[in-house]
């Protein structure tokens, strides 16, 4: 590429650190798409002859076929996907291949290729997220009445339903999908035509190439066009937050599948055994989702660190934008797929969850609310009275619902038999009818609403 200036080739270690073909070969389809749009524009503007454009277009189609068939021969000596494609094109059509790079630099070329790759990947991830949300909403609809303990500080707090718990993750994933959509929208400007950093003196039509590649418009500043990697950072930021959500759910699955919880069971399809302990059923799929979150968040931190000290415009440091980002986004895709499989596979144990829902005096708040609602007691006083009643039950080693009316009245004489009706876990969840609450009717309505949205 620069043989006119350099009298000798690079050192072996220079070739090793400089080559990116091992990972940027993934940009092959996007590189060919960008080149096809570019050559069509060059011909339309009369910058190259129609015959050369036809030969280049025909040759690129053959190269694309070879890449898709897995027969393309990549060379590390050619450094990257761009020069590999151009070299093969020259083998196929001769000197006319050299006209393809007119009014273009590898700087705007790689920015365009990578934007196209990120855009395609983000769109696929958004589709996967909808698939996971659908699995969760379907499971929530089927579990709208299934009572389980709700936790704060990992201590029993108040009863909720399993369906309500699952819908919390549907909400989280909706925000994740929204972040990906926002990132995609901001990324949808085309850098092609910015050339190395200053634009070009050729009479190109940047709007035409942007339209041909499905972008909303060309980027407005040539320096920013080649120096920008915000589109990768935003995608990785959304990916990192999504991975954290999946990790939180994975941690719950790990807990729920223990004998101590026993809330759900994963089949053999998503469990592994032990090489020494024959009784073990390990939730390895969930543990791996939890562990792989580090790779996704690490990809974001890695690229932030690469970009933080770079002056405008392009620096070779920016070659480090791809390997980590590709790994992070592909890792998230794998984790979403694994989580979707686990949600569809898990078998909840309703009896175990209901028994646990009543432990730890989880209906104490219901009693306090009853005191406020029925006896018109200030909540802080009701909180204190209920605390004394919990202490009474704890001293007897009994659940709240096992206390007699007389025992309740020994703490607060005005309590009547109506208080006994709020102490069961089913009554507790049915009473939580406020918007967004855990009442089964709420859960059914929310789950159906999500499923209707996903079906349109």
Which active-site residues does the annotation give?
Answer: 153, 274
Report the alpha-carbon distance of residue 232 to residue 159 in Å, rounded.
42
CA angle, residues 136, 425, 353, in degrees to nearest 5: 50
Going from the C-alpha of 364 to that of each of 96, 107, 367, 400, 442, the distances in angstroms are 81, 64, 5, 8, 22
Q: What 3 state SS string does 146-201 have?
A: CEEEEEECCEEEEEEEHHHHHHHHHHHHHHHHHHHHHHHHHHCEECCCCCCCCCCC
Nearest one of 46, 114, 181 to 326, comparing CA atoms:
114
For residue 67, give both structure tokens. 């890449």
DSSP string, 289-334: HHHHHHHHHHHHHHHHHHHTTPPSS--GGGGGHHHHHHHHHHHHHH
> Which residues contact residue 263 at a Cβ distance below 8 angstroms, ignoring those fewer than 6 apart?
148, 256, 257, 348, 349, 352, 353, 356
For residue 251, give both structure tokens. 């941690």
> Which residues contact residue 423 at a Cβ distance below 8 angstroms, ignoring those fewer than 6 apart?
363, 366, 367, 400, 401
* Angle, helices 321-345/230-256, rounded to nearest 10 degrees: 30
Q: Find where tokens 């929208």 sit.
A: 185
> Which residues contact residue 336 at a Cβ distance below 8 angstroms, ignoring those fewer than 6 apart?
125, 128, 129, 131, 132, 242, 246
Nearest one of 216, 141, 33, 132 to 442, comparing CA atoms:
141
Segments of 48-146 assigned E as strands? none
Report the alpha-carbon distance of residue 350 to residue 447 in Å, rounded.
19
For residue 21, give both structure tokens. 């073909």
> Which residues contact residue 12 at a Cβ distance below 8 angstroms, ignoring those fewer than 6 apart?
none
Chain CA centroid to CA 317, Å: 26
């Amino acid at each position: 590429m620069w043989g006119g200036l350099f009298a000798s080739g690079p050192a072996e270690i220079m070739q090793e650190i400089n080559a990116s073909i091992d990972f940027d070969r993934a940009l092959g389809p996007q590189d060919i798409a960008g080149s096809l749009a570019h050559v069509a524009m060059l011909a339309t503007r009369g910058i190259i002859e129609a015959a050369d454009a036809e030969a280049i277009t025909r040759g690129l189609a053959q190269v694309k076929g070879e890449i898709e068939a897995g027969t393309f021969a990549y060379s590390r000596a050619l450094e990257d996907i761009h020069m590999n494609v151009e070299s093969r094109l020259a083998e196929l059509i001769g000197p006319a291949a050299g006209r393809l790079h007119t009014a273009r630099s590898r700087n705007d070329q790689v920015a365009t290729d990578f934007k196209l790759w990120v855009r395609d990947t983000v769109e696929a991830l958004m589709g996967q997220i909808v698939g996971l949300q659908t699995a969760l909403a379907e499971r929530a609809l089927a579990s709208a009445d299934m009572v389980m303990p709700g936790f704060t500080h990992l201590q029993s707090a108040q009863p909720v339903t399993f369906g309500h718990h699952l819908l919390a993750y549907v909400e989280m994933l909706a925000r994740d999908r929204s972040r990906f959509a926002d990132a995609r929208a901001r990324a949808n400007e085309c850098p092609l035509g910015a050339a190395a950093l200053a634009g070009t003196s050729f009479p190109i039509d940047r709007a035409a190439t942007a339209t041909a590649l499905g972008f909303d418009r060309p980027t407005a500043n040539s320096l920013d066009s080649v120096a920008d990697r915000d589109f990768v950072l935003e995608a990785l930021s959304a990916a990192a937050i999504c991975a954290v959500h999946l990790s939180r759910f994975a941690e719950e699955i790990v807990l729920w599948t223990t004998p101590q919880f026993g809330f759900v069971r994963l089949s053999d399809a998503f469990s592994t055994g032990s090489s020494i302990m024959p009784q073990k059923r390990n939730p390895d799929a969930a543990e791996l989702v939890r562990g792989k979150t580090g790779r996704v968040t690490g990809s974001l931190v890695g690229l932030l660190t690469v970009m933080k000290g770079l002056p405008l415009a392009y620096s070779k440091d920016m070659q480090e934008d791809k390997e980590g980002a590709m790994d992070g986004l592909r890792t998230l895709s794998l984790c979403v797929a694994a989580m979707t499989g686990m949600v569809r596979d898990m078998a909840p144990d309703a009896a175990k969850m209901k028994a646990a829902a009543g432990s730890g005096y989880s209906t104490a708040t219901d009693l306090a609310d009853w005191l406020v609602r029925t006896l018109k007691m200030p909540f802080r006083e009701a909180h204190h009275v209920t605390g004394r009643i919990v202490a009474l039950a704890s001293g007897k080693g009994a659940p709240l619902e096992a206390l007699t009316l007389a025992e309740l009245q020994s703490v607060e004489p005005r309590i009547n038999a109506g208080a006994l009706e709020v102490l069961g876990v089913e009554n507790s969840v049915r009473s939580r009818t406020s918007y967004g609450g855990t009442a089964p009717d709420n859960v059914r309505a929310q789950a159906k609403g999500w499923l209707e949205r996903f079906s349109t």
